[in-house]
Each structure stands twice: as structure tokens, then as C-alpha cells.
Amino acid sequence: MDVAVYGGSFNPPHVGHAMVAAWLSWTDTADQIWLVPAASHALRKALAPWSERVSMCAALAEMLGPRVQVCGIESELPAPSYTWVTLCELRARHPEHRFRLVVGSDTLEQTHLWHRWEDIEREFSPLVVGRAGYADAPGAPMFPDISSTSIREALARGEDVRHLVPAPVHARLGELYR
């Protein structure tokens, strides 16, 4: 089975994440899409509690259907979370699957900071999706420029973000980002 590993902070998950996961499913790009929330961030970003981000990802996955699932493997791995380690552990635990990493074109500008990016490219054939406002990724679909950072900033200012966050996720935001 082909599994698209869609990792990220999901701090919070938003409609951009939902669009990417839905596109992967609708186009049969992967048999399953596993949302993998980072337990910690290698680039030292501040994160909402892991259990809250997993809960929001679960709400998103439920909305998108059975091909989209949440994988909590990073809570079992040493901190900080390195994508290379996560992918290798997934492959070791599930040798029957073929794993491919999903990355946004915005992330490609930062791969020089990633642990073993060249190995990830070689062994996990990244699926690149475009993000408006960033370099084009030839042959990749383009998705809107929506960021968790801008959503958190808008929430802190007391702004409504319902147009940026799927309803089941919005219902779980509570006081997390205020």
C-alpha cells in the first residue's frame, strides 16, 4: 500500500492541510494519507500541547474520510522530531507499505536545515505540493497560502478564523491560541 506521510506541526490544522489531504485521496496519489503531528519541532517552534494537536488532526481526518488517518508515532520517538527518523521507523514497523513524504513548496526553501534531506529524497520520494506565494513546483498542484502562524496571530487579535479552519477543528480551538 502507498502511504503519503503528511507531517507537520498542525498548530492548528487548517483548510490548506485539508485540501492537500483531500487532493491526495481524491486523485489516488496514495492509498492512505497519514497525518503525523510533530511531537516536538527540530527547528524549535513553540507548539500547542501534542494531545490537542492530535485531537484536531483526528477531527480533520474524520471529516475527510477513512483514507485519512492520524499517526501518533512521533510521541514514541526521541525529541526533537526528525522526519528522517520518523520515516525510517514507519518503514521498520510497516514493511508492507511504501511511504512517501508530503512536502509543501514553501518547505523546499528550508530543506538545507533538515536532518538527512538527501536521504529522504532518495528513499521516500517526496510528493511536492505547491503553495501560493512560493516557488512553483513543476507538475505539482497549487494550494492557497494559508499558514498556522497567521491563524494563531489572528486568534490572538480576537479575529474570526472560521474561513481558515475546518469546522470540526474550529470547535476544538477553545482557548489554545488566545
Answer whether residue 39 shows pLDDT above 80.
Answer: yes
Architecture of the domain spanning 2-173? 3-Layer(aba) Sandwich (3.40)
Cell of 122: 532518495
Angstrom distance (rounded) from CA 110 to CA 100? 18
Average pLDDT over residues 85-97: 98
Mean pLDDT, the chain, whole residue set: 93
Angstrom distance (rounded) from CA 53 to CA 132? 25
Answer whether residue 99 shows pLDDT above 70.
Answer: yes
Residues 6+ apart with CB under 8 A from 160: none
Answer whether residue 62 shows pLDDT above 70.
Answer: yes
According to the model, what pLDDT value does residue 43 have?
59
139 pLDDT tier (thresholds 50, 70, 90): confident
Average pLDDT over residues 149-161: 93
Question: How far apart, in Å, are the Cα atoms of 87 and each of 11, 30, 80, 136, 174?
Answer: 21, 16, 14, 25, 32
Residue with cell 489572528: 154
Q: Read off the pTM.
A: 0.94
Angstrom distance (rounded) from CA 59 to CA 89? 25
Side by side, the strands of the sheet bearing 32-37 are 68-70, 32-37, 2-8, 98-104, 127-131, 142-143
The DSSP string of 20-64 is HHHHHHHTTS-SEEEEEE-SS-TT------HHHHHHHHHHHHHHH
Angstrom distance (rounded) from CA 120 to CA 114? 10
